[in-house]
Amino acid sequence: MYSRNVSFKLKAKSAAEFTSILEGLVIPLLRRQKGFEDEISFIAPERNEAMAISLWDKKEDAEAYDRKTYPDVLKVLPRD
């Protein structure tokens, strides 16, 4: 098993929006990826930070997601 860790700096008071995007868009997309097993997310709204850990069967599967699909995920996340 392989894990992929991503941390985010959130805008103030955007934890609920981040959670909605993660549950509504990102996790369904991850479930369609080869080798994806699970996602664990941590949000610290008082510090405006979040961390997402995705679990994969193989390192190659996580790397393929990072190259091919993750850039599209970044496009749906709100920016300043």
Q: Which residue has the tokens 């970044």?
A: 74
For the entire predicted model, the pTM comes to: 0.84
Closest by Cα among 15, 12, 4, 1 to 64 = 4
Residues 2, 38 contacting (CB under 8 angstroms): no
Q: Where are the domains of the chain?
A: 2-73
Q: What is the CATH number of domain 2-73?
A: 3.30.70.100
Instruction: Tell me the backbone φ, ψ of residue 7, rounded to 5 degrees.
Output: -115, 150
46-61 confidence digits (pLDDT tens): 899 999 999 999 999 9
With a cut of 50, list the residues of the chain below it in pLDDT.
none
